[in-house]
Structure 1
Amino acid sequence: MSERVPIPAVVALGVTQIIGYGTLYYSFSILAPDMAAQLAWSSEWVFGALSVALLVGGLTAPWLGMLFDRVGAARVMTIGSFVAAAALAACAFAPNKTVYVAALIAVEVSANLVQYGAAFALLVQIRPLVASRSITYLTLIAGFASTIFWPITTVLHAHLTWQHVYLVFALLNLTICLPIHWWLSCQGTTHSAKASTAVPRVEGILSPARRRLGFAIMVTGFSLMSLVSSAVLVHLVPLLSGLGLGATATLVGALFGPSQVSSRLINMVFGKNLPALHLALIAAALIPSGVLVLLLSAPSIPGAMIFAMIFGMGNGLLSIVAGTLPLHLFGSEGYGKLQGKMIAARLVLSALAPFVLAFAMENIGITLSLGITAALGGLSIIALASIATL
C-alpha cells in the first residue's frame, strides 16, 4: 500500500468542498435579506429558521456518521450531492414559509452528507496512513470557498432573484459534485469499515479503557471552540460597532479568510511532524486570544486587524484538527461514526451560540459578553490539554 497522499482524490474533493460550502453555507448571509423580503419575514426570523435547520442537521449527524462507515463515505456523498441539489431547488420553489423551512432543514442535513465530516471520513477510508496529511491539503483547498463564493453569489444576485441563484447552485451540486463523488465511489478504494480488511488501519494512541472519557473531553474542547467561533462571526458587525470599530468590518472580513488559509499553509509546510494534539492546543489558544485582543485593544484599528488574523488562523487550524485529532486518538476504525457525533455536538452549539451571545450583549453589555466568550474559549485549552494526561 502506497503511503503517498492521493492527490487526485484530494483535489477532486477540494472542488466539491468549495462548491458545498459555497452553495450550502456561505451564500445564505448574502441572500437572506432577499429571502426575508420575499417571505414577508424579518431577517431575525430567517436566521432563526437557519438555526432550527442547523439544530436538526446536528441531531441527524450521528446517524449519518454511521452511514459513512457502513456503506462508504463516497457513496454517501454521491447521494448527498443529489439531496443538496433537490433541497436547494425545493427552497427556490417553496410556496410558503412552512415548505421553505422544511427545505432549509433538508439543505442542512445534506450539508452533513457532503462537507468536511464526510470528506474526512472518505480520506481515512482511502488511505488511512496518510489521512492526516490528506486532510491538511484538503482544508487548504477548501479554505477558498468563502473567497470564491461570496463574490460569485453577490454577482449572481445582482442579476437574479435568490430563487434563481439557488437553482444555479442546485445545478452545480448536480452536474459537478455528484459526478465527482460518483467517480470516487467507483475507484474501488473506498469501503465499508466492515467490508474490507485490505486497507491498513491506523491505531489510536488512547487505550480502550480511556477512549470514552477521551472522546467526551475532545468533543467538549471542540464544541467550546465552535461556540466561540460561531457566536463571534455571526455578530461580528454589531460587535465591532459596539466597540467603536464599525467602519473596520469590511477590513476585518477581508483579513479573516486569508488568515484561515495562511494558517493551513504554514501547518502544511512547517507542521508535518507536529502531533495532532499540539496543533489542537495551538488552535484552542488562538481563538480566545483573538477575542481578548479585540476586547483589550478596541477601538484600535490595528488591534482589530490583529484580531482578524489571530482569530482567522485559529479557525483555519480548527478545521484541520477536527479531522486529524480523532484519527490520532482513536484510530481509523469507526472514524465516520466519531465524526458524526462530533458534528452533532458542534452544530448544536453553533446553532444556539448566536442567540446566547445576542441575549448577553443586550443584558450585560458587549464588553462583559466578550470577556465571558473568551473565558469559554480558554476552557477549551484546559479540556484538550487534559487529554495528554489520560
Structure 2
Amino acid sequence: MAGFASTIFMPLTGLLAERLGWRGALLALAAIHGAVTIPLHAMAVRHPRPAGAAPADPARREHPGRRAVAHAAMRDTRFWILTATFTAHGLATSTMTVHLIGYLISRGHPTTFAATTAGLLGVLSVTGRLVLTAARRRLPVTTIVGAVYATQAAAMLAMPCSPPPAPARSLA
C-alpha cells in the first residue's frame, strides 16, 4: 500500500504548492502528517520491556542457525555483488524520482502535471510487483530482474528525446 502514498501525496503537494506556495504547502503537509501519524504512533507504541527481559513469544527469539547463515553470506562475493547492484539501482531510482518533477517543469509542463506524473510511479510500482509476482511462476528471477533494469534504463534514456508539451491553445 505504500506505493499508493506517492499517488496521493505527489499530486496533492503539487496542488498545494501551486495554491499556497512551497512554504504553505510544506506547513499544510506537516499538519496532515502530524494529524495522521501522531495518533497512530500513540496507539501502536507499547511500553518497553524491562532491561534484560526476554521476549514472551519464543518465535521471536533468534534462531541459532541464523547467525551462521548471516556469516556465510557476508563471506560470499555474490552477496556483495547483489548488495552493490541493489544499492546502485535504489540510488539511481531515487535520484530519478527526486529530479523528475523539476525535469518535467523545466521541459514546460505545469507543476500539477509533473507532480501527478511522479505520483503515478507509486501505481506503477504496485502494478509491477503484481505482474512480477505472476511472472515468477514462468520465468527465472534473474531474467525478470534483468528485464526490469533494462526497461528502466531505456525509459530514462528516452526522456530527453521526448518532445516538450505543445503550447496551450486558448478556447476563445
TM-score in terms of structure 2 length: 0.60
Instruction: Give 2:33's aligned residue.
Output: 84
1:192-341 map, 5 Å = 247=70, 300-330=78-108, 334-335=110-111, 337-341=112-116
For the residues of structure 2 that align with 1:74 and 1:362, how far apart are their CA atoms?
A: 48
Shift of 1:92: 4.0
The structure with higher relative contact order (CA 8 Å, sep 6+) is 2
SS of residue matched to 2:136: helix
Larger Rg: 2
For the residues of structure 1 that align with 2:97 and 2:86, how far apart are their CA atoms?
A: 17
Shift of 1:59: 4.5
Instruction: Give 1:357's aligned residue.
Output: 132
Contact 2:16 2:24 in 1 (8 A): no
Number of matched pairs: 141
Q: Percent identity?
A: 13
Contact 2:132 2:144 in 1 (8 A): yes
For the residues of structure 2 that align with 1:367 and 1:305, how far apart are their CA atoms?
A: 15
**CA displacement 1:84-106 (0-9 Å, x = unmatched):** 11211343466xxxxxxxxxxxx
**CA displacement 1:257-280 (0-9 Å, x = unmatched):** xxxxxxxxxxxxxxxxxxxxxxxx
1:1-390 map, 5 Å = 50-51=1-2, 54-55=3-4, 58-59=7-8, 61-92=10-41, 163-164=44-45, 247=70, 300-330=78-108, 334-335=110-111, 337-387=112-162
- Aligned-residue CA RMSD (Å): 3.6
Letter in 2 for 1:77: L
SS of residue matched to 1:72: helix
Letter in 1 for 2:19: R
**CA displacement 1:115-149 (0-9 Å, x = unmatched):** xxxxxxxxxxxxxxxxxxxxxxxxxxxxxxxxxxx
Contact 2:14 2:116 in 1 (8 A): yes
Instruction: Give 1:185's aligned residue.
Output: none
> 5+ residue gaps in structure 1?
1-49, 95-162, 166-245, 252-297
SS of residue matched to 1:300: helix
Change (3 A) 1:374 1:72: same
**CA displacement 1:308-346 (0-9 Å, x = unmatched):** 453244235324422431232127xx43x1342123211
TM-score in terms of structure 1 length: 0.30
> 5+ residue gaps in structure 2?
47-68, 166-172
Higher helix share: 1
